[in-house]
Amino acid sequence: MRALLLLFALWLCGAAHAESIEKAIMPGELAKAHAKIEEECSKCHQRFDRSAQDRLCQDCHKDIRKDIAGRQGFHGHLDNTTCRTCHTDHKGRGASLIVIDTKKFDHAKTGFQLKGKHADIATKCASCHVAGKKYRDADTACASCHRKDDVHKTRLGEDCQRCHTEKNWKETSFDHEKTKFSLVGGKHAEVKCKSCHVDQTFKGAETQCNACHKKTDDEKGHKGRFGTKCETCHTDRGWKDIKFDHDTDTHYLLKGKHRAAKCVSCHLPEKGSLYQQKLPTKCVACHKADDDEKGHKGKLGDKCESCHNERGWKTGTFDHDTTHFPLRGGHRETKCEACHIGGVSGNKANVKLDTACVSCHRKDDQSKGHKGRYGDRCETCHADTKWKDARFDHSKTAYPLRGKHLEVRCDACHLVDFGPLKGSKIQQTCFACHQKDDKHKGQLGKDCAKCHDERRWQGTAFDHARSRFPLVGSHTKVDCAKCHTTPAFRDAPSACIGCHERDDVHKKRFGTRCETCHSARSWAAWDFDHASTGFLLDGGHAKVQCDTCHEKEMTGKATRRPCVACHTRDDVHEGGFGAQCDRCHVTANWKRQKR
């Protein structure tokens, strides 16, 4: 018995000693979250069984155990479920038990994959994970983060992903066809949501056309007199797309211009609802004002359709060819009142109209210059196609008309002062009519035909080679007006300097005989042979510009100058070897000497 008591006492002493040893060898203080169990090592450790540590952790963290068992959440998707792999303790009160590398952390293992715009904030955990709360407690509902962005003010619930995506909050994928108001096939599909859903509540939006299109109804002239069932006439393909069929839906068939007429043209607004009005169908009911303006004034009765039709008020069906005066040519386009001054059916005295041309065209005869000198038989020259269509054949006279002469009015040549046109003798020379057009001031004589022809007065066939200044080289491409500044052609200068004074970069230092060096091929191409002066340009002299040596105006033949005249500054001998530099130097290079 004493032995048993001794053994028990020894065991107690050993246990107390072991616990004190564990505290003594503890590597450091526990983190703040575990501080309350720092004295109870058995809460996290089991002697001689290291694998028990994960089970002990889960005894406290039951939510983690549930995730691991159910293969859900972040811990449920980890391949290694050993707690100490990620969470270490005994590093002091201020140490964190959770250390996450945001750049490497795979958020998809949490059950909430970061896609679209969410991926842009992958390293900004605090955007969704509020301080003081566990990461696992973050709400995954869109509204938890986007409540401020919810312009619908929660009236559409919190299931934001039904319409919105992670790519862009403003980009929606809502299928409007699942509602009771289809957008397919019409202009509604192109309309922005806020145009109809003004307060962005969406639910309870008006579906009647008039709710959105009342302003259009007022502007189009209906002003509510057709009611609110716009779809009776209009379609959602376009406001102007009318499906109302006046031919089948009413007792009045619309033909011709009536189809293009506006409803209110016949259905007057002041007479009540347009579709309830009982209108007369006689033409004169709508066209009385037209009847008064056109000159009938009711004298032909109210059967307008006898002459007119729906294709156009001006389109008459009356056949004038059945009368004793068939209408042809321009007469077909003439208004009835132009001849029938007292009314279409005749004048007030019911007198037959005169069919002679002059009876209607006397004013034209006066204004066109004939003034009765051709008599009353206008049809001798004019046709009924147009008054200007003259059919008189001038080629049968002694002066056939060609070119522009065919377009000239008779009175331009047959002046009124000559008396009656027929039989008047007119000079046939160009100068007789075109003396005023002669801008050459008589310098070129009176034979205009040498240069001009009937095709056009400005088109000339003049051969410049026959003049005292034949055109060669680049001169053949120059416009006449460049040299002949006035039509007095002979006044144009023939000396080069007369036209090329601005081009003379020598400023007349080489005189005014430009042709000595330059040619008509090109101003930049010059033909002067300097060797003919007795001073051959070779070597470096060939590249020197003329005015480098010829500084003053050349009034005569230039005298040969010694080298030192130009190369005084280059003479390093300072005149010690005289002025004949060419005894030692060469023109190719001043520094190279003769051997």
pLDDT digits (tens, 9 = 90+) for 118-173: 888 767 888 888 887 888 888 888 888 888 888 887 777 788 888 888 888 877 77
At 580 the pLDDT is: 83
Dihedral sign (CA 565, 569, 570, 575)? positive
**Interval 516-535 mean pLDDT:** 79
Cα–Cα distance, 528 to 513 (Å, whole number):
12
CA-closest candidate to residue 367, choices 336, 388, 384, 353: 388
DSSP at 568: T
Q: Which own/partner pairs from 156-160 qualify as long-range (CB within 8 Å, at least 24 positions apart)?
A: 156/201, 156/202, 156/203
At 456 the pLDDT is: 76
At 15 the pLDDT is: 46
Check whether 186 has a pLDDT greater than 50. yes
Check whether 407 has a pLDDT greater than 80. yes
Lowest mean pLDDT among 317-321, 376-380, 547-551: 547-551
At 347 the pLDDT is: 42
Report the share of the chain in percent with pLDDT over 90: 0
Output the pTM of the full model. 0.33
Check whether 11 has a pLDDT greater than 50. no
pLDDT-based confidence at residue 572 (cuts at 50, 70, 90): confident
CA 174 to chain CA centroid, Å, is 34
Rounded alpha-carbon distances, angstroms, from residue 202 to 193, 195, 382, 544: 9, 11, 77, 88
Check whether 584 has a pLDDT greater than 60. yes
Rounded alpha-carbon distances, angstroms, from residue 275 to 52, 225, 252, 493: 91, 9, 12, 87
At 350 the pLDDT is: 46
Beta bridge partner(s), residue 452 = 460
Average pLDDT, the chain: 79
- Amino acid letter at 257? K
At 555 the pLDDT is: 59
At 414 the pLDDT is: 75
Cα–Cα distance, 24 to 428 (Å, whole number):
143
Longest CA–CA span in the chain (Å) reads 178
CA-closest candidate to residue 544, choices 575, 515, 566, 568: 566
pLDDT-based confidence at residue 14 (cuts at 50, 70, 90): very low
**Interval 571-583 mean pLDDT:** 83
**Interval 58-82 mean pLDDT:** 86
Lowest mean pLDDT among 406-410, 447-451, 524-528: 524-528
Token look-up 């080679």 returns: 465
Lowest mean pLDDT among 8-12, 412-416, 440-444, 500-504: 8-12
Close Cβ partners of 479 (under 8 Å, ≥ 6 residues apart): none
Pull the structure tokens for residue 163: 């319409």
Pull the structure tokens for residue 208: 């009647």
CA-closest candidate to residue 420, choices 357, 377, 370, 362: 370
Close Cβ partners of 499 (under 8 Å, ≥ 6 residues apart): 482, 483, 493
Report the share of the chain in percent with pLDDT over 70: 87
